[in-house]
Amino acid sequence: MPMKRLTRQRRAVLEVLRGTKSHPDAAWVYQEVRKRIPSISLGTVYRTLDALVKEGLVMPLHHGGGATRYDANTMPHPHLYCRRCGAVVDLDLEPPDILKEASERHPELKFETFQLEFEGLCAECAGALAS
Ligand SMILES: [Zn+2]
Ligand SMILES: [Zn+2]
């Protein structure tokens, strides 16, 4: 397979992810990337997302057994998961330095990363329920 095409697909996937704050799943990314590269397959999108995750360019979000969602913002930041509409909202909060404490309390374990998750309602759903 020619490298040029891979590079183009990879760039398109990355640009789609960087252009949204909605933390989309692979199916959504596929729909968007197809607008630029109509011949791309869903399998290729999955493989490209996997590769970007392995390279640390994209962060996967696993939550509640649903489809994996993807975040192009790889700086550690907490999320709120809306229990009503499923939105994933970035929070402007400094995550606590909990990895160090975890390592000290459980030296037998090897901690690599953690995600701080909140559950609740996004602004839209909170507003809809309030009115
Ligand atoms: Zn919501
Ligand atoms: Zn995020």
- The model's pLDDT over 32-44, given as tens digits with 9 standing for 90+, comes to 999 999 999 999 9
Domain limits, the chain: 1-74, 75-131
| Residue 55: C-alpha distances to residues 24, 29, 46, 59 (Å) | 19, 18, 14, 10
CATH of segment(s) 1-74: 1.10.10.10
Average pLDDT over residues 81-88: 93
pLDDT of residue 18: 96
Looking at the domain covering 75-131, what would its CATH class be?
alpha beta
pLDDT of residue 1: 47
**Gap from CA of 18 to ligand 1 centroid (Å):** 21
Distance CA 129, CA 15 (A): 34
Q: Which ligand is nearest to the CA of 79?
A: 2
**Gap from CA of 20 to ligand 1 centroid (Å):** 17
CB 58 within 8 A of CB 74: yes
pTM of the model: 0.81
Average pLDDT over residues 15-37: 96
**pLDDT band at residue 53 under the 50/70/90 scheme:** very high
**Gap from CA of 115 to ligand 2 centroid (Å):** 10
Q: Which ligand is nearest to the CA of 123?
A: 1
Starting at the edge strand found earlier in the chain, the sheet holding 79-82 runs: 88-90, 79-82, 117-120
